[in-house]
Amino acid sequence: MIWEQKTITLKSRGRGFHIVTDEITSQLAELKNITTGIAHIFIKHTSASLTINENADPDVRVDMETHFNHMVPEDESYYRHTLEGPDDMTSHIKSSLLGSSVFVPITDGKFNVGTWQGIFLCEHRNSPHHRKVVVTLFGTNEKK
* Gap between the Cα atoms of 96 and 46, Å rounded: 8
* Gap between the Cα atoms of 59 and 100, Å rounded: 23
Is the pLDDT assigned to residue 144 strictly greater than 80? no
Answer whether 0.85 is exceeded by the pTM.
yes
* Gap between the Cα atoms of 24 and 76, Å rounded: 35
pLDDT score for 15? 96
pLDDT score for 75? 86
* Gap between the Cα atoms of 65 and 17, Å rounded: 7
The letter for the amino acid at 56 is A
- Work out the average pLDDT over 58-84: 96
**What is the band of 136 on the pLDDT scale with cuts at 50, 70, 90?**
very high
Nearest to 124 by CA among 68, 77, 61: 68
Domains of the chain, each with CATH number or no CATH: 2-140 (2.60.120.460)
The letter for the amino acid at 35 is T
- Work out the average pLDDT over 109-126: 97
SS3 67: helix
> Could you write out the DSSP letters of every residue in 73-93?
-SS-TT----TT-TTHHHHHH
